[in-house]
Chain A
Amino acid sequence: DGGITQSPKYLFRKEGQNVTLSCEQNLNHDAMYWYRQDPGQGLRLIYYSQIVNDFQKGDIAEGYSVSREKKESFPLTVTSAQKNPTAFYLCASSLGTDSFYGYTFGSGTRLTVV
């Protein structure tokens, strides 16, 4: 079955540490996205990538970094510069970035700073 897989499901980070969240898709989708969900805030875009080796900042990119070396993979690194990283992180993919392409979401990673 085709889908999008995020790992781990739960992640704990100490202050000052960088952590990397994994996102893999086997849908042959060109575009991939990272969103962050906070209570009462909806989904806010962190980064997105339309093709391999290219990505753009979203609305809240500060303190995050991404790479897109393979079509299937779009890992997100939460750096120590991110002041409030505790949140639920969602990865998504779509066939393209034209309006009519719906997104498929992963099941999310909950990151907690301890």
Chain B
Amino acid sequence: DQQVKQNSPSLSVQEGRISILNCDYTNSMFDYFLWYKKYPAEGPTFLISISSIKDKNEDGRFTVFLNKSAKHLSLHIVPSQPGDSAVYFCAANGGNTPLVFGKGTRLSVIA
């Protein structure tokens, strides 16, 4: 049973516009959430994270929002750039357990 769900396999956005990637989770014990970016044939790289005591975290063009009551988080990229084209994974964990990953969303930023 999927504990972390990314329901959109792909997303296309024009350069300069906002990209919004969504993630839902089912495990109430999760208290830390991360987004990773991955290019083909490479390992994922850490992008941004948020703990359950916050509802928003910003880092430059990237903002993550957490809605605990809805068990939903989203990643906003503003403005989107062609170099942002990659697969984005949402991940979560709680306590002393390994990260659980979603299936990923492939973002294509069109120039």
Contacts and interface: CB of A to CB of B under 8 A. Distances in A.
A108 B99 CA distance: 17
B contact patch SS: loop
B98 A105 contact: no
Tell me whether chain A's interface is mostly helix, strand or loop, or mixed. Answer: strand
A58 interface: yes
Chain B, interface size: which category? 20 to 34
Interface in B29-58: 31-32, 34, 36, 41-46, 49, 51
Contact of B99 (A40, A103, A107, A110): A103
Contacts, number: 61
Nearest to A43: B101
Interface of A: 4, 6, 33, 35, 40-45, 48, 50, 58, 88, 90, 92, 97-100, 102-108, 110
B98 A41 contact: no
A100 B99 CA distance: 10
B32 A99 contact: yes
